[in-house]
Amino acid sequence: MKIKKMIWVTFQKAGYHYYTEAATNPNLKDVEYLQHRHRHLFKFRVQIEVFHNDRDLEFIMVKEYCESLFNGKLDINGNSVEMLADTLYANLAEKYPNRDMTIEVSEDGENGCIIEYNLPKQ
């Protein structure tokens, strides 16, 4: 049996974005208002692989590092929550290399994405 151990942290950040394509895509007519800059409470859940049971990564330190990446006003312009997750992953992978991760990002805890970043198996 193969066991994968993960820790997880959560944090949230108020921020703004817009969806440019909502203005021009006829399939998005019902949500064309999303073309305008609007506020969300972006909620994050980050899972990172660990390799032993005794604080391989300290929860609080991981959480504080994640939060430090979003100091100040979060304005992601035309980026999606998927793009936001990818940006967060790039930073985490540099700080905590060679670990599988799963990142969830939601708008107001209602709708969002889950992306699994799995390293190639050797």
- Terminal alpha carbon distance of the chain: 17
Per-residue pLDDT at 83 exceeds 80? yes
pTM score of the predicted model: 0.92
Per-residue pLDDT at 112 exceeds 80? yes
The answer to whether position 57 is within a domain reads yes
CA distance 119 to 17: 30
Q: What is the pLDDT of residue 102?
A: 98
Q: What is the pLDDT of residue 122?
A: 60
Distances (CA, A) of 90 to 2, 7, 86, 107, 108: 26, 18, 6, 21, 23
Task: Give pLDDT tens digits for 11-26.
Answer: 999 999 999 999 999 9
The answer to whether position 85 is within a domain reads yes
CA distance 78 to 49: 30
Counted domains in the chain: 1
CATH of the domain at 57: 3.30.479.10
- The rounded mean pLDDT for the chain is 94
The answer to whether position 34 is within a domain reads no
pLDDT exceeding 90 applies to what percent of the chain?
Answer: 87
What is the helix, strand, coil percentage profile of the chain, to 5? 30, 35, 35
Per-residue pLDDT at 119 exceeds 80? yes
Range of the domain at 74: 5-13+40-117
**CB proximity list for 91: less than 8 A, separation 6 or greater:** 69
pLDDT exceeding 70 applies to what percent of the chain?
Answer: 98
Under the banding of pLDDT at 50, 70 and 90, the label for residue 63 is very high
